[in-house]
Amino acid sequence: MQLYNRVDKKVLKERLAKLDEEFTTISFYKYHKIHQPEQFRDELYRAWFAMGVFGRIYIAYEGINAQLALPTRNLEVFNAYLDTFTMFKGMRRNFAVEDGKSFFKLKIQVRDKIVADGIDDPTFDAGNCGVHLDAKRWNELMDHPEVTLVDFRNHYESEVGHFTNAILPDVDTFREQLPKVAEELQDKKDKPILMYCTGGIRCEKASAYMKHHGFNEVYQLEGGIIKYARDCKEKGIEPKFIGKNFVFDERLHETITDDVIAHCHQCGEPADTHINCANEACHLLFIQCEKCAEKYEKCCTPACQEIIHLPLETQKELRKGKKNKQMIFKKGRAEHLINHL
């Protein structure tokens, strides 16, 4: 059996769009020693492919980090399969606030770490994490006058949604954020620190990192924003998170409240819709309002707009030899985007 996808992503997206079926989106992680990650990866691929699972899953010696979607009709079978592994028994599974066709293929990769953290300290214990708080207790502690609330996500995530009064580090990566936050909060080592992220996995490490660096009272939001939003909805708790929760799949966000707190990166009008530039040689991730989306045909600049109208073969030639990695608008520092305003 082929253990990876070879079909073009456009074809896969078209297939997914035609499927008249309900999907459930789930995310979970587990820090657990996996001695043969390659073998474990192949085993999961075979089983999940047969269940119709799509998603992005990372496996490493330290554990697993999974974001996936599957036909809802197979959910019971999927959960039963997970429970055949000792490491997954009792593990929290975060169910999306807004379901949909969030992934179009199954991708399982073996990596050095399930979250790139830049930590190279043999004395660091990722298991010595902070105290987990549910939605009710989280809201209560947020109002404490001595609490410092930290968003452990990247700038483009917090730009469209965050908790009120949270510190929002202007960083591109988690590995950059860890030492930055620890240094900036040096005078608060004996004060309560509350931290949150999308689904909890980054805070699991971040809280342990902060404790490793002498912070004595560290708390983390259990299950991250995803579980918090669902619990608030189901238990009638007033959410203190405003705006959208950025997610790393085809949806790009889940709406937590109707507040629009961000602005179009092209005209400055209120907007919070992330898109990737339609020019595949650019693929910049940025926020664009509906008017600019129509004006620039979902491109970030007039130059990119011109390129999408060139013959496909010419576009391919322009892309040849270039690495099409994810680029992100950096709060006014993407020169090729702001120069045309």
CATH number at residue 96: 3.30.70.100
* 149 within a domain of the structure (yes/no): yes
* 165 within a domain of the structure (yes/no): yes
Considering the domain architecture, whether residues 152 and 66 belong to the same structural domain is answered as no
Considering the domain architecture, whether residues 58 and 136 belong to the same structural domain is answered as no
* 150 within a domain of the structure (yes/no): yes
Q: What is the DSSP track for 59-111?
A: EETTEEEEEEEEEGGGHHHHHHHHTTSGGGTT---EEPSS-S---SSEEEEE-
Tell me: the pLDDT tens digits for 66-97?
Answer: 999 999 999 999 999 999 999 998 899 999 87
Considering the domain architecture, whether residues 96 and 139 belong to the same structural domain is answered as no
CB 256 within 8 A of CB 241: yes
Tell me: the pLDDT tens digits for 265-286?
Answer: 999 999 999 999 999 888 888 9
Considering the domain architecture, whether residues 105 and 139 belong to the same structural domain is answered as no
The overall average pLDDT reported for the chain is 89
Helix residue spans in the chain (DSSP H): 9-18, 37-50, 75-82, 135-142, 155-158, 174-184, 201-212, 224-235, 290-295, 302-307, 312-319, 335-338
* 280 within a domain of the structure (yes/no): yes
Which residues are within 8 A (CB) of 320 and not within 5 positions of it... i.e. 6 or more apart? none
Q: What is the DSSP track for 202-244?
A: HHHHHHHHHHHTT--EEEEETTHHHHHHHHHHHHTPPP-EEEE
Considering the domain architecture, whether residues 96 and 42 belong to the same structural domain is answered as yes
If DSSP codes are grouped into helix, strand and coil, which group holds residue 148?
strand
Tell me: the pLDDT tens digits for 170-196?
Answer: 988 899 999 999 999 999 999 999 999
Active site (catalytic) residues: 197
* 159 within a domain of the structure (yes/no): yes
* 247 within a domain of the structure (yes/no): no
CATH number at residue 178: 3.40.250.10
What pTM was estimated for this model as a whole?
A: 0.85
Tell me: the pLDDT tens digits for 36-49?
Answer: 999 999 999 999 99
95, β-bridge pairs: 26
Q: How many domains does the chain have?
A: 3
* 257 within a domain of the structure (yes/no): no
Considering the domain architecture, whether residues 327 and 284 belong to the same structural domain is answered as yes
* 235 within a domain of the structure (yes/no): no
Considering the domain architecture, whether residues 222 and 310 belong to the same structural domain is answered as no
In this structure, what is the dihedral angle of CA atoms 245, 225, 107, 57, given to the nearest 10 degrees? 160
Q: Which domain holds residue 15?
A: 9-110
